Structure 1
Amino acid sequence: MNDLLERLARKHDVPAAQLFVRHGGETTEATLGVGPDAAFPLGSLTKPFTAALVLTLADDGDLDLDEPLPKLPVTPRQLLTHTAGLAANVEQEPISRRRWAARQRPDALVHRPGELFSYSNAGYVLAGHMVEDVTGVNWQDAVESILLWPLRITPAFVTGKTERKALPGHSGTRVITDQSLPELEAPAGGLALSARDLVAFALHHNAAMRHDHLAGHRAGPYGLADGWGLGWAVYDETWFGHDGTGDGTSCHLRFDGNTVVALTTNAATGSALWQDLVDELRSDGIPVADHRPTSTAPEASAAQAEALTGRYANGDALVDVTHENGRLGLAIDGGPATPVTCHADLTFTVPGSPATPGRFLPGRLLQLGGRTARPHAPDGGTQ
């Protein structure tokens, strides 16, 4: 396993990585450039920890997963499954989570609660505030005392004070010493742990998280997973996990009843390493699940493509769709347009490493990276 990790890390220019595999009763651990206890910024792999806090409080009777919040018509269950309708991003200046939560209003929701899946960092910030409101302690202390201390894990955090130091990230030749995540958004991406820590959490987390709440949903997590539970993504119905990307980091976790695979890397190219690793493990008889939607449909007709053009919005995030010379182009937040291949089934792929899948849905919805956007109205709202 060390040879495999070293070969893939060299191919993808990853300076440091950890790989932990438990399969068929055997455990294999490999490291490169660091020891097994080094803490990697987890990015969005933090979210299942915030979800586990919410479920712990629900089990204790301190909150009801299906009771709407006092000022918003959304439930904790909807927050954890990304169906609450909040914007994908946190769109206000850095303030305390309490002040931020107090400013959230029903008219700021970008989708009707429960209507569809739209991946939301803002939803998990609100879930983190809910934990703080119920427990009376900040989110970091709650993670440490409720979840990690029983597992004998010392956490690192990329915001605020931390006893354990997180590794820097890498993007090409640039070393990223400090993550840019504001403290406000810590419940959505503020943890740093090792692959070994991730496996310990996966083996001891709340079992209620392992249930697909989006089976049959008209707008599920296309491009991210096959389904979604209470914090965990669902892959091939029986596998669970999550991916996380920080500034120059990429971390991944998958598990089912027999196998757990955790990979931590401190490079932006770690996501491409992960895809190669999955293929290699599968060839070795370890059937790791992943989500890689592909289309066999022909390219969309010019008329189909032309009908998709326009501006789409999810909160302040904007995507402009253009059609020129028979090819669609996507420009995100005013950036340059990237040519994409759109198929007759209205799925498309944005080039990259790895490529990012997306799709158009009935009602002129655009789904990219799990974020769902609506046509942008002339007055600046969504239609």
Structure 2
Amino acid sequence: MDTDQLARRLADLVRDHHVPGAQLAVHHPGDGLWTTSVGLAEDAAVPIGSITKTFTATVAMTLVSDGDLDLDTPLPDVDHPLTLRHLLSHTGGLPSDPDDIRTTSLRRHALEAGRTLVPLHSPGAGFSYSNIGYVLVGHLIEVATGMSWWEAVDAVLLRPLGLRPHFTVGPEEDRNVVAGHAVNAAQRRAVPVSQSLALVDAPAGALAASATDLVTFGRMLAGAPPHLVDGADLALMRTPVRHAEPFGMADGWGLGLALYERDGVAWVGHDGTADGTSCHLRINPADGTVVALTTNGSSGFALWRDLVPVLAEAGLPVGDYDGLGDLRDPIAPPEGCTGSFVNGDVEYSVQPTEREVLKLTVDGEPFADLSLFDGLVFEMRDSDTGDTSQTGRFLRDPRGGGIQWIQIGGRLARRQVPEMV
């Protein structure tokens, strides 16, 4: 592993993407831990966004191993036959987030959502990335432990790993976490932004950590001590779940972990974005390699994409998702692509243009231009940045054959049927 090259290239990428700071940590068999940082202290806690979900999932799986939770028992007080397995793998058919949050109580929010949210599909029949699903997991953890989610994460997971707790919201909020930044690449400006996560969404995104902290966590998920989750349950976390097809995000999904393949090697991990931050964790369970990147700029995701080939050149061929590699044969938009699709309270509207391109708006705001390819897969051209690194797809109803869903960023939205007048 060429660490000098990695340090130099990371500094170049930080400058090129106008990111104020980044941390990179690697644990490699035989080499031990190596870290480097640019613009940040190596132990600074960066909001890690949705990587928090993997921490929440690991607490839940620790409780499964201890017999305090069951993966396949239907959830109480929920109108759908949801299980913990569905929630951890995003196969419960739940929308991502409700817009109208009327409480600061995790329990009340979880129960209200479980009773009122309209499912996108029956539990276990497909994949749709869901924050509210992890709010329900957090509620189950609180019921099983008698502690708050914050207390349980600290006592069950962080303390045994030797990690200090850092939360961006809640009773244990740490006001010293690193600030995120909104990056304007054209003006070469980075403006500090505040974290806006709702209190009740904490189990889905409230943790902050350094890249070194993430490597410590990742090593445990690879099988290193402390053995908080039984070996069989740990293997389940890393095993692809049936019908979990996270198109646009990863190659597969386990229980709290995304799955990535590279050159026949299976990697697991998670990506996370908070307000003005982008963080990434990758683990090779076969040899124990762990790679973590934290950035405090909104352009950090693009930096990660550019860093992946640099890691490979340095001897770390990290698994990552590449939806663009599957695009084949451009096609004209077929009948049924246009219209409105909904995920909870979010509306995706697809409209034609004069060219063979579709215009996507989200809640009325321009989002992307869609260019279609064989298999109803599309390339997305971001309306603000012009970035074309993201992909999505339309899905047909297996019974009727018509286009029924759009999937973007792993989230499904179901076609909205116009009301009869």
> What is the aligned-residue RMSD (CA, Å)?
1.8
2:45 maps to a residue whose letter is A
Q: Taking structure 1 as reference, are residues 164 and 148 closer, same or farther at Cα in structure 2, changes over 3 Å only? A: farther
Superposition map of 1:146-295 within 5 A: 146-160=156-170, 161-163=172-174, 165-172=176-183, 173=189, 175-205=191-221, 206=229, 207-215=234-242, 217=243, 220-236=245-261, 238-256=266-284, 257-258=286-287, 259-294=289-324, 295=326
TM-score, length of structure 2 as denominator length: 0.85
Matched, 1:81 2:89: yes
From the superposition, tell whether residues 337 and 193 of structure 1 become closer, same or farther in structure 2 (CA, over 3 Å): closer
Pair 1:9 & 2:14 matched: yes
Give 1:1-383 correspondences, 5 Å limit: 1-26=6-31, 27-72=33-78, 73-95=81-103, 96-103=105-112, 104-105=114-115, 108-160=118-170, 161-163=172-174, 165-172=176-183, 173=189, 175-205=191-221, 206=229, 207-215=234-242, 217=243, 220-236=245-261, 238-256=266-284, 257-258=286-287, 259-294=289-324, 295-302=326-333, 304=334, 306-325=335-354, 326-336=356-366, 338-352=368-382, 353=387, 355-363=389-397, 364-379=404-419
Give the total of aligned pairs: 376
- 1:19–1:29 Cα contact (<8 Å) kept: yes
- In the alignment, residue 312 of structure 1 is paired with which amino acid? F
User: The residue matched to 2:418 in structure 1 has which SS?
Assistant: coil
Larger deviation, residues 347-356 vs 239-248: 347-356
Q: CA deviation at 1:86?
A: 1.1
* Percent identity over paired residues: 45
- State the alpha-carbon separation in 2 of the partners of residues 229 and 76 from structure 1: 12
Gaps of 5+ in 1: none
Counterpart CA distance in 1 for 2:395 and 2:129 is 16
The letter of the residue matching 1:195 is A
User: Could you tell me which amino acid in structure 2 is paired with residue 272 of structure 1?
Assistant: A
Q: 1:208, 1:230 within 8 Å by CA — same for their partners in 2? A: no
1:230 Cα offset (Å)? 0.8
Query: Is the contact made by 1:272 and 1:354 (CA closer than 8 Å) also made in structure 2?
Result: no
Is the 2:94–2:133 Cα contact (8 Å) retained in structure 1? yes
Partner of 2:129, secondary structure, is coil
Q: Once the 2 structures are TM-superposed, how far is the Cα of residue 177 of structure 1 from its aligned partner?
A: 4.7
Does structure 1 conserve the Cα–Cα contact (< 8 Å) formed by 2:239 and 2:253? yes
Alpha-carbon distance in 1 for matches of 2:362, 2:176: 34
Structure 2 portions without partners, runs of 5+? 1-5, 184-188, 222-228, 398-403
Is the contact made by 1:19 and 1:264 (CA closer than 8 Å) also made in structure 2? yes
1:335 and 1:286 map into 2 onto residues whose CA distance is: 39
CA-CA distance at 1:165 after TM superposition: 2.2
Taking the aligned partners of 2:130 and 2:145, their CA distance within structure 1 comes to 23
Conserved 8 A contact 1:179-1:246: yes
Give SS of 1:100's match.
helix
Q: Deviations over 1:44-72 (max 9, x none)?
A: 01000000111111111112110001122
User: Runs in 1 of length 4+ with deviation above 4 angstroms?
Assistant: none
